Amino acid sequence: MPKKKLVYIWSLRNAAADKAGQDVAYKSGTRYMKSVLESLVEALNDTELGEQYSLEKVIYDDDAGSALDREKLKEYGFSYEPGKRWFYPPNLRVQGKAVNDLLLAIPSAYRREPLGAAGRVAGKSQFEKHLLDTLSELEADIVVLDGLLIILDELVRPGAPFYRKIVNIHPGVTRAESPYERRGAYATLDALYGARGKKVVNWKTMETVAVEPLYLTGASFHYVDNGIDSGEVIHDVLNTEIDKDDTILELRWNNFNSSLFPALNEGLAMMAGHVVRIEA
């Protein structure tokens, strides 16, 4: 049986905020912050997952024409440059191919326009059309989103060519019925506040209310719909303990290694029809 063609779409901005590919402060020492992409590559190279999937392309939406994106990526740039930081070892290979050769920029340039502007609406539609054309040309069987801070509209509507073919890996449990639910861009910080007995009710003012502390968080692998982390959950892992004194990067490191990497690998295995547990 031929391998399923997998396309990975991420935000370099999000990976930069995590200090991916760097040693970060961790308790009294440092630990290497492995990117989700690097972890996936290792699984495709070293586990049964590589018998089911072929990584065809790595797309990012960062916009070199945006001053804000340039500022967020000033340590890394928009592609690997010798002597600069990068999000994974620059010689990283997946299934015999150089990962750097798989990189493709499809900038979400519409973000330069103000919210609600007609140009922004039209630009977003053009962005999704560009994605659709690229995914169709690649004959993608499954598309994995990682940290793409965009609500997709046209690509994931029922009847669209990639309906229920686009999935997301999220650093929080997204099941609505779970007491550990953490959706949205602030999922990790939300979990950290929760361990401190607080719930942020307004992320602009950082207004909080007191809640019963929760000392666990996890990750969900779910279908993408037109909402924010609201798609049907394929698989989740709730295996990350929280110390209320954790920094945000310490908790990110713990959650990636304890819950998110396993949720992604096991979720992909389940979608391929092989329900196996892959060691984190």
Residue ranges of the chain with pLDDT lower than 70?
A: 274-280
The answer to whether residue 117 sits within a structural domain is yes
CA distance 132 to 129: 5
Please state, as a whole number, how many other Cβ atoms lie within 10 Å of the Cβ of residue 172: 26
Kindly state the greatest CA–CA separation across the chain.
54
Please state, as a whole number, how many other Cβ atoms lie within 10 Å of the Cβ of residue 250: 18
Is beta strand 198-202 parallel, antiparallel or unpaired with respect to 207-210? Answer: antiparallel
CB-based burial label for 196 (10 Å; 0-12, 13-18, 19+): middle
Token pair for residue 7?
């396309």
pTM score above 0.75: yes
Token pair for residue 11?
């935000």
The answer to whether residue 67 sits within a structural domain is yes
Q: Which domain range does residue 84 map to?
A: 4-175+218-271
What's residue 39's pLDDT? 98
The answer to whether residue 279 sits within a structural domain is no
Domain containing 19 — which CATH number? 3.40.50.170
The answer to whether 30 and 162 are in contact (CB under 8 A) is: no
Number of domains present in the structure of the chain: 1
CA distance 158 to 164: 8
The answer to whether residue 245 sits within a structural domain is yes
What's residue 1's pLDDT? 77
What's residue 157's pLDDT? 93
CA distance 200 to 190: 7
What's residue 280's pLDDT? 33
The answer to whether residue 44 sits within a structural domain is yes
The answer to whether residue 8 sits within a structural domain is yes
CA distance 272 to 262: 15
What's residue 176's pLDDT? 94
The answer to whether residue 210 sits within a structural domain is no
Angle at CA of residue 109, ends 147 and 5, nearest 5°: 50
The answer to whether residue 29 sits within a structural domain is yes
What's residue 276's pLDDT? 41
Closest by Cα among 144, 224, 215 to 183 = 224
Helix, strand, or coil here: 160?
coil
CA distance 66 to 58: 21
**Ramachandran category for residue 275: left, alpha or beta (phi over 0 → left; psi -120 to 50 → alpha):** beta
The single-letter DSSP state of residue 212 is: -
CA distance 233 to 265: 14
What's residue 275's pLDDT? 44
